Structure 1
């Protein structure tokens, strides 16, 4: 039975190999290099007292930058863990998985559609990966078991242990996800009480675990500095912009960019799938027309107005801000309305609407603390992947005529990533070897012009820009500090 179960998921082996190869080929960049120096040791010994409460994420980074095998194994475990929890969560909603190998291939294909802006700060940057991916995995585990408790009123003892561990340990990676975990368990407990007029002990235990983890995180002294405006990096307000005005501006500019337009490719797939299901429904023609218009709004605006007119660079102009926000909110609300009206079972509808409604809960804490960037919305992208995965499996696109197409896509995308990062790894090795050779041949060398790495849009600041970062870069790669390193201008906007 165990052997049969393993064979059904044999597709995980090449996926494990893929992520292992990617972890080996991905170079340490940006503050990965700093974590690998004495700074990381100092932070570890002080238990990150002057940094933040991301205790597990920071510890993973300290160890990973010193022990390469640890870095590779942890990278694989969490990357594959995201796949497995999505697969299992969707199985819970749609029933028994009869095509595990094909479905996992379909899922990895969807995940590889990740925008380069997010990839560069997650999979292409270990400091980002070790905080955001484990945090997202923990949140998805909690979400899955909250839904199970709502549906059947209890968990098996081993499921409860997993949920408690996720609720406790998952709090020490990312602040916004820490608050999300508490919020989602609280909402599940309230909903269960309203539905059944009684409390559920397992949800209370999960809530206590999450609360304890959150208290441990936020008792870190650095958060007092952040909310007091004493932090040089994270802030809740500034001298020229108060908290309320910053929240409004983030809501109107950064949220549409990161929630909708950044992930437009996966959203087009979701809109197309919903449109296809709508086409087969018996809704009145005018209702279909309105929903089609809403589903087409963001894609058409993105490719025919926003990109040609460079609206992304003009978000300080009030008319542009309002157009950008209006289209984004219209599209998001249409997604919810389309799920509600399409011919799906009530169980699937409830699940998809719940996933869409988790997004504002997940990102709400980001209104308060700045700066935020693409990496903060990795979990939003994963939610979109789950929605697309549910719709594709509901449509039963697992017939033989589709399976070959998915296999070709999965192999093509995976190969493209491997080839791209192989080129990056070779270029990284060569540029370090060249500067060492130049320093050895000319002891009086004062300035060295170093090349940028190719495909730098898929990594987090692979070429240091500031004097401090260049000093760390030289320390890590044992380049004499007296040599001034310069780089060509970046092609990234």
Structure 2
């Protein structure tokens, strides 16, 4: 029976790989992808990325991917499947087929802004998604080392060391995230068990070397002291002002409000487990109400005020930021207390707290990032998925789950996404051919008009946003270099 189950999980992983590989085929190159395809990559390689950033591995991946199509498609599929695979390892559900489909479905219902910034273009994908996969592996290794005390094969430990080094060369905040997670795991092992875990200490040293290499890039000194139109360490008001704005506005939106659906599911599961917990039932009515209000107030505030009045855009209103912090803090308090009261297994409880701490660490490292992009919260969403699946395992101790519903939902979502991006691919090819025909018919026309693509909010600027990106688009599609194009909304009658 176990062998049959393993065969099923293998088939599901292959199906997920094929799905994401096909999605990679359907996704056109856009925005920075087109820049990397141009001669820009040759110029930047000559100076060793000294004028760009320290994301050496992510940049190299992108350069190779935009020039080798089959490798781009396959790596898109493998990395996406790898994230699902690591979720199963951390949740300890790697032999349960239904949980693979659940994780797959949850990763498909990413908030559209995060999807667009990560899975919706290749430049973002190779930095955000790849670093997320590496972060998950590091979290998995640390949890196994300090909580479950499982001895890992030599090959896994060697891979862990390799990723601790190369994982530092993707995103600045992820670089700090890895260092903090590794030192926290080492300190927990030392304080809780009075033992020195030399593997964790060695991995931290390796990660520190990678961090030094990243931030030794000359451009960071320029960003820090001279400023940059896009990348900065802090805004003009200073690091403390940025930190206050981040705590009151950016993080509540990125960590909580933009992920309200999955957080509501997590809250619902904890509420169910609490109602069946003796420790919760024996609390006073006042204490029980205080905990429950924390779960209820967040979705109510989001539906009635935050979303209704677009408060995520009102960053200058101090009262809004204050209320955001109070509501999100209250919700987080209920989550922490709810886990303590509802989860009886000590190892599961510590695992959940470790994941919540990882979210806090990931969010705190964004203080060095300006602007904070939706893609920065991919790791946060993925950890939310892990927490949800662990809680669902606890839920199944009390009530069975209809597996057919999970299978049906995953199939429907897969068909919807494939259909949508097949349509995007078709419209993209149609748009390019229409543009070439217009140029052929009217070679002296100053500006040509074509439609934007459908579902552009699921991609990262698939229509060029300025002159430079239009020139890179022209270069890739073999159009005259100085062709000017006006992009009108999809479905307009003016094209």
* 1:415-454 pair list within 5 angstroms: 415-454=415-454
Residue 56 (structure 1) shift: 1.0
For 2:83 and 2:335, how far apart are their aligned partners in 1?
24
* 1:25-40 pair list within 5 angstroms: 25-40=26-41
| Contact residue 124 and residue 375 of structure 2 kept, 8 A | yes
- The equivalent position to 1:194 in structure 2, one of 188, 191, 194, is 191
Identify unmatched segments of 5+ residues in structure 2. none
| Contact residue 253 and residue 315 of structure 1 kept, 8 A | yes
For 1:384 and 1:17, how far apart are their aligned partners in 2?
25
- SS of alignment partner, residue 77 of structure 2: helix
Return 280-289 or 184-193, whichever deviates more: 280-289
Residue 3 (structure 1) shift: 8.9
For 1:196 and 1:311, how far apart are their aligned partners in 2?
46
Cα deviations by residue, 1:230-249 (Å, 9 ceiling, x for unpaired): 3332112344x122112211
Aligned to 2:51: 50
Cα deviations by residue, 1:113-145 (Å, 9 ceiling, x for unpaired): 210010000001111110011111111111111
Aligned to 2:325: 325
Q: 1:257 to 1:401 in 2, by over 3 A?
A: closer
Cα deviations by residue, 1:241-288 (Å, 9 ceiling, x for unpaired): 122112211221111110100111111110111111111123234333
Residue 397 (structure 1) shift: 8.0
For 1:400 and 1:242, how far apart are their aligned partners in 2?
53
* 1:207-356 pair list within 5 angstroms: 207-239=204-236, 241-282=237-278, 283=280, 284=283, 285-356=285-356
Residue 399 (structure 1) shift: 8.3
- Given the alignment of the two structures, is residue 126 of structure 1 paired with residue 122 of structure 2, yes or no? yes
| Contact residue 8 and residue 97 of structure 2 kept, 8 A | no
Identify unmatched segments of 5+ residues in structure 1. none
For 1:489 and 1:97, how far apart are their aligned partners in 2?
44
| Contact residue 251 and residue 367 of structure 1 kept, 8 A | no
For 1:97 and 1:189, how far apart are their aligned partners in 2?
26
The TM-score with structure 2 as length reference comes to: 0.93
For 1:46 and 1:53, how far apart are their aligned partners in 2?
12
- Given the alignment of the two structures, is residue 163 of structure 1 paired with residue 160 of structure 2, yes or no? yes
Q: 1:237 to 1:336 in 2, by over 3 A?
A: same
| Contact residue 176 and residue 366 of structure 1 kept, 8 A | yes
Residue 472 (structure 1) shift: 2.0
The TM-score with structure 1 as length reference comes to: 0.94
For 1:407 and 1:207, how far apart are their aligned partners in 2?
40
For 2:273 and 2:3, how far apart are their aligned partners in 1?
38
- SS of alignment partner, residue 10 of structure 1: helix
- SS of alignment partner, residue 27 of structure 1: coil
| Contact residue 33 and residue 472 of structure 1 kept, 8 A | yes
Aligned to 2:200: 203
Residue 313 (structure 1) shift: 2.3
Residue 291 (structure 1) shift: 1.8
Instruction: Give the count of matched residue pairs.
Output: 485
| Contact residue 453 and residue 490 of structure 2 kept, 8 A | no
Residue 10 (structure 1) shift: 1.6
Task: Report the aligned-residue RMSD.
Answer: 2.1
- The equivalent position to 1:114 in structure 2, one of 107, 110, 117, is 110
Q: 1:10 to 1:479 in 2, by over 3 A?
A: same
Cα deviations by residue, 1:288-327 (Å, 9 ceiling, x for unpaired): 3222210112111111211122212222112222222221
Cα deviations by residue, 1:386-438 (Å, 9 ceiling, x for unpaired): 00011112222898861110011101111111111111111111011001011
| Contact residue 62 and residue 123 of structure 2 kept, 8 A | yes
For 2:119 and 2:196, how far apart are their aligned partners in 1?
40
| Contact residue 229 and residue 238 of structure 1 kept, 8 A | no
Aligned to 1:365: 365
- SS of alignment partner, residue 450 of structure 1: strand
Cα deviations by residue, 1:430-454 (Å, 9 ceiling, x for unpaired): 0110010111122212211121000
For 2:3 and 2:392, how far apart are their aligned partners in 1?
28
| Contact residue 33 and residue 476 of structure 1 kept, 8 A | yes
- Given the alignment of the two structures, is residue 82 of structure 1 paired with residue 83 of structure 2, yes or no? yes
